[in-house]
């Protein structure tokens, strides 16, 4: 019954996605991107808000239940260290792949000075057109990597988990939930009733997710129409088209080849089959472009259809939605190196290593930063600019990010899908260490 329901919901989601792309492209051709804002508002109401509404209580219940069920602190330490090690390794692989793709295909090289000058001028105009976004990216430049990590660490030990929950900062919520789960496990029989209550509430949340999945296709259709209707499917040319092709191609290689191979080597079995089974979560990630908004679906699908253990999934997936950003790390490496190529700056091998390492670390810290993808890209560019300054070379201005903002939404949809796919593979790998009893 559950499998039949899952197949039907997946079919509806896929049909809504395809239909939304078609209708959105028709509206773009007819109105040149000037479509009504109600498409986006209605899509958010039926797609994003129901998922965002249950994220915080779901994180608290799932993480606390997962930690309490593991029980043994030594086993928890093994599972936690294995989870973090897998996530860091997969992000390093992704960022390295992005650097290799730019080195091979050279998306920012070979263009005429007139094309580059026009693109830089247009990018500066786009950058300054949104004052709020420009202010956030300027703050990211002054923050630097150390400041980003300081922001994350301050959330790990929040003054009030309730205020973190209100602000939607899941790092602090996860930290509190881990301590709650440890307390429930350590209390033994005295907390048996509370553990059963947490598990019962979690089961109720899973049922609610099932209800939300039935209304999601309508919201998905409206949301995709709004995205495609504003930017069109072919609104890229010249260097931007080549950049777009490189970053999308690298994301697909990572998702379809490298991540499944990594999972296979670590005992997760046939991850290509797993990808097909958890397609509902991947479709949701693609449409929402938000790992946190997709979290309820990822938790439900990973266990019900992916065959991951409930113990591992409840612990690994919420943490992954916060710190595991394979797609983001890859995108930031490609975007940063593309911009340096476009400006005609030759980077050394050491500079490329800085990009790979900083993209990985900044992606981990992205969860605690507003406008995460763009702000962390600023951090990567600033790190390389510091290296260039030491050699007396000119930096790339932060306003250059405006060059790629036009296609960022489309890139964001696929990189978020890779982020969520990495969480699922991680849950499958860790299921060997934390099987259900």
Mean pLDDT within 287-308: 88
Could you please report the per-residue DSSP string of 368-383? Answer: GSTTHHHHHHHHHHHH
Q: What are phi and psi of 108, to 5 degrees?
A: -100, 5
Q: Are 330 and 415 in contact (CB under 8 A)?
A: yes
Q: Cα-atom radius of gyration of the chain, to the nearest Å?
A: 22
- Mention every residue, 6+ apart, whose C-beta is less than 8 A from residue 194: 184, 187
pLDDT of residue 368: 45
Closest CA relative to residue 253, chosen from 364, 167, 327, 192: 327
> Where are any strands of DSSP class E within 117-251?
none
pLDDT tens digit string along 232-265?
Answer: 666 556 688 889 899 999 999 999 999 999 999 9
Reduced to 3 states, what is the DSSP secondary structure of residue 110?
coil
Percent of the chain with pLDDT over 90: 23
CB atoms within 10 A of CB 153: 12
Q: Cα(256)–Cα(162) distance, rounded to whole angstroms?
A: 39
pLDDT bin (cut points 50, 70, 90) of residue 287 is confident
pLDDT at residue 33 is higher than 80 = no
Question: With b meaning 16 or more CB within 10 Å and e meaning fewer, what string describes 384-405?
Answer: bbebbeeeeeebbbbbbbbbbe
Average pLDDT (415-420) is 92
pLDDT of residue 365: 64
Closest of 314, 301, 300, 55 to residue 170, by C-alpha: 55
Residue 370 confidence (pLDDT) above 50? no
Q: Which two tokens stand for residue 166?
A: 């209100």
88-105 mean pLDDT: 94
Q: Which residue has the higher pLDDT, 7 or 101?
A: 101
Q: Which residue has the tokens 């190196």?
A: 337
Separation CA 57–CA 209 (nearest Å): 12
Query: pTM for this one?
Result: 0.83
The pLDDT value recorded for residue 149 is 65
CA distances to 146, 149, 151 from 154, in Å:
12, 9, 5
Element (H, E) at 234: none
Who wins on pLDDT, 94 or 140? 94
The mean predicted confidence, pLDDT, of the chain is: 82
Sign of the dihedral defined by the CA atoms of residues 129, 131, 133, 138, in that order: positive
Q: Which of 61-65, 87-91, 138-142, 423-427 has the lowest mean pLDDT?
A: 138-142
**Residue 204 CA: distances (Å) to CA of 3, 9, 62, 91, 166:** 19, 19, 12, 34, 22
**Listed residue (416, 406, 338) closest to 373, CA to CA:** 416
421: confidence class by pLDDT, cuts 50, 70, 90: very high
Cα separation, 151 vs 37, whole angstroms: 34
pLDDT recorded at residue 73: 65
pLDDT, residue 87, reads 93
Contacts of 136 (CB under 8 A, 6+ apart): 370, 371, 374, 375
Determine the Cα–Cα distance for residues 241 and 172; give it in Å rounded to an integer: 39
Using CB atoms within 10 A of its CB, is residue 44 exposed (0-12), middle (13-18) or buried (19+)?
Answer: middle
- Residue 48: pLDDT band by 50, 70, 90 thresholds? confident
The answer to whether 313 and 268 have CB atoms below 8 angstroms apart is no
Whether residue 330 contacts residue 98, with contact meaning beta carbons closer than 8 Å, is answered with yes
16 CB-near residues (< 8 Å, 6+ apart):
216, 217, 218, 220, 221, 224
Q: What is the pLDDT of residue 372?
A: 63
Q: What would the two tokens of residue 303 be?
A: 């266990």
Least confident of 27-41, 123-137, 241-255, 326-340: 123-137
CA proximity to 422, closest of 263, 315, 270: 263
Please give the distance of CA 192 from its chain centroid, rounded to a whole number.
36
Q: Alpha-carbon distance 420 to 286, whole Å?
A: 9
pLDDT in tens, 312-348: 898 899 888 888 889 989 999 999 999 999 888 888 8
Give pLDDT, residue 232. 67
Which whole number is the average pLDDT over 90-117?
A: 89
Least trusted range by pLDDT, from 1-5, 24-28, 408-412: 1-5
Residue 278 has pLDDT above 80, yes or no: yes
Report the alpha-carbon distance of residue 27 to residue 373 in Å, rounded.
28
If one looks up domain 2-430 in CATH, what number appears? 1.10.3860.10
Nearest to 308 by CA among 327, 328, 330, 281: 281
Angle at 254 between CA 249 and CA 256, to 5 degrees: 90
Please choose, from the candidates 267, 271, 240, 278, the residue with its C-alpha nearest in 3D space to the C-alpha of residue 257.
271
């Amino acid at each position: 019954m559950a499998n039949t329901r899952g197949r039907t919901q997946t079919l509806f989601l896929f049909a809504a996605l395809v239909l939304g792309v078609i209708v959105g492209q028709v509206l773009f051709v007819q109105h040149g991107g000037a479509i009504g804002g109600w498409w986006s508002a209605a899509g958010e109401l039926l797609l994003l808000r129901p998922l965002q509404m249950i994220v915080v209580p779901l994180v608290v219940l799932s993480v606390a239940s997962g930690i309490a069920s593991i029980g043994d602190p030594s086993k928890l330490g093994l599972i936690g260290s294995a989870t973090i090690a897998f996530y860091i390794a997969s992000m390093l692989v992704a960022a390295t792949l992005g650097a290799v793709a730019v080195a091979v295909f050279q998306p920012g090289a070979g263009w005429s000075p007139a094309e580059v000058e026009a693109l830089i001028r247009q990018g500066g105009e786009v950058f300054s057109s949104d004052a709020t976004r420009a202010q956030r990216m300027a703050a990211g430049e002054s923050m630097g990597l150390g400041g980003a990590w300081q922001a994350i660490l301050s959330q790990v030990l929040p003054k009030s988990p309730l205020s973190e929950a209100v602000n939607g900062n899941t790092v602090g919520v996860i930290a509190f939930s881990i301590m709650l789960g440890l307390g429930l496990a350590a209390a033994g029989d005295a907390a048996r009733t509370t553990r059963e209550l947490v598990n019962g509430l979690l089961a109720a949340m899973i049922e609610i997710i099932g209800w939300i999945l039935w209304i999601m296709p309508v919201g998905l259709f409206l949301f995709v129409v709004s995205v495609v209707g504003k930017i069109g499917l072919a609104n890229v040319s010249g260097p931007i088209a080549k950049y777009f092709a490189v970053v999308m191609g690298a994301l697909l290689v990572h998702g379809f080849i490298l991540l499944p191979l990594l999972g296979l080597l670590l005992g997760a079995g046939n991850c290509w089959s797993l990808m097909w089974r958890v397609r509902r979560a991947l479709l949701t990630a693609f449409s929402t472009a938000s790992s946190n908004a997709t979290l309820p679906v990822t938790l439900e699908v990973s266990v019900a259809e992916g065959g991951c253990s409930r113990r591992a999934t409840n612990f690994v997936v919420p943490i992954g939605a916060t710190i595991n950003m394979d797609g983001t790390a890859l995108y930031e490496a490609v975007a940063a190196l593309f911009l340096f190529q476009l400006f005609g700056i030759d980077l050394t091998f050491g500079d490329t290593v800085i990009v790979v390492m900083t993209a990985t670390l900044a992606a981990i810290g992205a969860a605690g930063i507003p406008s995460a993808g763009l702000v962390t890209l600023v951090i990567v560019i600033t790190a390389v600019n510091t290296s260039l300054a030491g050699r007396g070379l000119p930096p790339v201005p932060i306003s250059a990010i405006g060059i790629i903002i036009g296609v960022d939404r489309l890139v964001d949809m696929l990189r978020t899908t890779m982020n969520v796919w990495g969480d699922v593979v991680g849950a499958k790998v860790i299921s060997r260490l934390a099987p259900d009893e």
